[in-house]
Amino acid sequence: MPRSLRALAAALLAALAVLLGTPAQALDPAVPEPVPGPVVLIGVTGLRWDDVGSLTTPALWGLSREGSVGAVATRSVRARNCPADGWLAVSAGNRAADLLADDNKCRLLRDPGESGEVPGWDDYLAAARSESYGARPGMLGDLLARTGTTVTGIGPGAAVALAGSDGVPVGEHLRVPSEQRGLAQAVRAAAESSELLVVDAGVIRDPGHATVPRLPSTTPTNVPDPDDAPPGLGGADDDLPGSAAIVEPTRAQQAVNVDARIDAVLEGLARRDATVLVVSLADSGRSALQVAVATGPRPLGPQFAESLLTSGSTRQPGVVQVTDVTPTLLSLLLLEDEAPALPGAQIVPVPGPATGGARVALLRDVQREASAIGLVFGSFSARLVLAQAALFVAAAIILVARGRADRAPLRPALRVLKISALALASAPVASFLTGLVPWWRADRQVAAFWAVLLAWIAVITGAAIAGPWRRHVLGPAGVVAGVTVLTLALDAVTGSTLVIDSPMGAHRILAARFYGMSNQAFALITAGGVLLAVVVADTLLRAGRRRLAVASVVAIGVALVVVDGAPAWGADFGGPPAIILAFAMLAVAVSGRRVSWRLVLVVGAVGVAVVLGFALLDWMRPAADRTHLGRFLDTVLDGGLWDVVWRKLSVNLRVLTSWRYLVLAIGGVALTWLVLAGPRAHRGGLLGAGSPLAGLQREVPLLRPAVAATGAALAVGFLMNDSGIVVPATGIALAVPCLVAASAQWRLGARADDAGGGAPDADGPPEGGPGTDVSDRGAAPSTSSSA
């Protein structure tokens, strides 16, 4: 095994040993005790924090001042979900959804009829079988029945949540009384004998998104009884479909009705020390973060009171997921050990602002930011791709143009190309840094975002071309890469605040990832890390410090692997193997050896061992503290590996044909080949023996190994992550503009030959050219290194 690879493996194993040796969070030695009162889930749908007011919704307003509050990401199987989807998520403890109707309307939920089965249950089962989440509707009901837990459900949503796998609700089921006093009496009676009480407090729907009656899709002969027929499916003429849509109530009116039911439930629980969860389980038609409030005692730890909510699945103060509801109910009932592996985690209180008003204001700000990113994400992505495509075309023309690089028109064109490439290479990290400025609070959010983004691009580009590093071919590009790596690494170890709700990061509303290293951030930190390592190693090689150059590559690689893969920081499953492969290839090249297939296989095995070590480290922690690494291992042990693999593969294939990412991937690869392969062409080849870029690789011998290492890492990331082609396209968005900037820097510094049309001397580095400050022609030339 090459010495450089042994050094990399030893460093990774040492880092992993330190992490594994770090004691996991100690389990509380206290024995959990059942909560004194019943556990109560008040489920609603479509309720946002901007619906809550002191006059319009006094019950919710009071709860928000006394309890723990949070914002709920309700994303389920599809981007927009229905009331049935939210209640099914409680039933399955996983992402689940109703069958998609032809009219894209949501099903009107109804109470069970004489058969006792939840209407539409066969549709719910069919939908779960068609998805790859492994959801099992009825899981919660079966578990409650198996453990003998006394349960009462009130309302059609509660029937869905508490149904067993046969579709029949466990325990006692009641219809929602028409009067508030009747609901309070029903809750009071149920609280006397039930350990768990689930109440459907109603729905809020946006105009044009009202729920509609629907016959079961999979059992069309199962027509409901006339007495149970919903409007439009039998009954009086005034129940015709669509009649209610003519006079749809406003959001405010719907919120008042929901609040009245919540107030009735709280009245029925008066003088009882109950633990109450009020959760909006689905959106209202427009995707947005929803309301969550919790009050009362917990089996262990502080009670839900005057704080924020979080969970192990989000690790974001004030933010939880709808899939966290079921694990929370089970933990409050001391039944978590009876449940299978679930993707969610227990909802717990965490410190927040001192006053209730400040906590709600914080959540409204989070909700505003989460909604605002949707206004700029698409335009940012499209414009970045178009700008990169224009850069690729311009670079393909200007970089290989024959002519004197010290005269017009080529010299101004090269200068513009260099600055433009650096600006575009800065755009990805600038999109993350926009989170430092609260642009979403502006009246004109889109304009504010672009102003902040362009300001950050200008700052980074200015820094790249203004310092002493401008004297070196890779200097300006190395600055952009260094800023990218430093920003994303610091963000990962400080809580991932910049990755969340950034254009190239993770969006709360999409509920894909709430912490750690997103797939796009991984691609950027890998591509930037390789370039940064090349700059450092190239400098040391020029000074004759080969061993130190190898050590620097190993050190940077180990640091990125730990930041990207450690459960407490990046928590990335597919990233560490790719990073290990890239830096192992680069370290071998710096050491002067050749990369072989045997080396690639050995490094691949080391990468798999490291990522499994991270997952095992996380799995050994308490269930409430695990990240998705530990939960993934738990899912594998529970037999759900194929569901996860199939879901990731499906997503990978779905985004494979996205034009935005195809343009970046194909264009970037083509331009890279032109820069690297064109100068190698001999007589009759693409560019001929006199290519203007022929001396670039002699000036930077590590350029080709760097491109190979980056390409290998992005290829592995493409295969191992569910973002698919997004990973290489994002890495190319940084790596290729940096390559263009370095090539333009080379040509600006190269000596012009009368006969060669601006090509460097074929026998060695040009005098006073590569490595010199293009603005200072008298600087001493750099020396070529060997590797």
Residues 308 and 433 grouped into a single domain:
no
pLDDT tens per residue, range 398-416: 988 877 777 888 899 999 9
Statement to judge: residues 51 and 160 lie in one domain: yes
Q: Which regions of the chain are under pLDDT 50?
A: 1, 17-28, 219-246, 681-690, 751-787
Token representation of residue 428: 């990805």
Assess whether 278 and 371 both reside in one domain.
no
Domain boundary among 352, 385, 409: 352
Same domain, 332 and 388: no
pLDDT at 725: 83
Distance (Å, whole) CA 749 – CA 475: 13
Estimate the share of the chain in helix, then strand, then coil, as percent rounded to the nearest 5. 55, 10, 40
pLDDT at 702: 92
Residues 347 and 389 in one domain: no
Q: CA distances (Å), 548 to each of 102, 479, 591, in order?
A: 65, 21, 10
**Token pair of 749, please?**
């510094």
Instruction: Using alpha carbons only, give the angle 746, 747, 751 rounded to the nearest 5 degrees.
Output: 105
pLDDT of residue 239: 33
Q: Is 48 a domain residue?
A: yes
The torsion angles phi and psi of 202, rounded to 5 degrees, stand at 115, 180
Per-residue pLDDT, 719: 80
- CA pair distance 736, 748, nearest whole angstrom: 18
Q: CA-based Rg of the chain, rounded to a whole angstrom?
A: 30
CA distance 556 to 485: 10
Domain boundary among 352, 381, 397: 352
Of 484, 439, 487, give the one whose Cα is nearest residue 464: 484
Number of domains present in the structure of the chain: 2
Q: Which tens digits make up the pLDDT trace of 285-342?
A: 989 999 999 999 999 989 999 999 999 899 999 999 999 999 999 999 999 989 888 8
Residues 344 and 377 in one domain: no
Q: Which amino acid is at 385?
A: V
Domain shared by 438 and 347, yes or no: no
- Rounded CA gap, 127 and 135, in Å? 10
Q: What is the CATH number of the domain that holds 178?
A: 3.40.720.10
Whether 474 and 345 share a structural domain: no
pLDDT tens-digit series, residues 568-625: 888 888 888 889 889 989 998 998 887 777 777 777 777 777 777 777 777 777 766 6
Q: In this structure, is residue 241 part of a structural domain?
A: yes
Range of the domain at 508: 366-749
Domain boundary among 352, 378, 393: 352
For residue 673, tell me if it sits in a domain. yes
Looking at the structure, tell me whether residues 318 and 395 fall in a common domain.
no
The verdict on 374 and 348 lying in the same domain is no
pLDDT of residue 275: 97
Q: What percent of the chain has pLDDT over 90?
A: 56
Q: Each residue of 354-367: pLDDT tens digit?
A: 999 999 999 999 99
> 249: buried, middle or exposed (CB in 10 Å: 19+, 13-18, 0-12)?
middle
Going from the C-alpha of 434 to that of each of 4, 457, 501, 526, the distances in angstroms are 39, 10, 10, 21
Same domain, 234 and 371: no
pLDDT of residue 655: 66
In a domain? residue 340 = yes
Q: Is residue 776 part of a domain?
A: no
Kind of pairing between the strands at 196-203 and 347-350? unpaired
Residue 24 located in a structural domain: no
Q: At what angle do helices 58-66 and 251-268 cross, to 10 degrees?
A: 60
- Is the residue at 6 inside a domain? no
Let me know whether 346 and 378 are in one domain.
Answer: no
Query: What pLDDT is attached to residue 240?
Result: 35
Residue 557 lies in a domain: yes
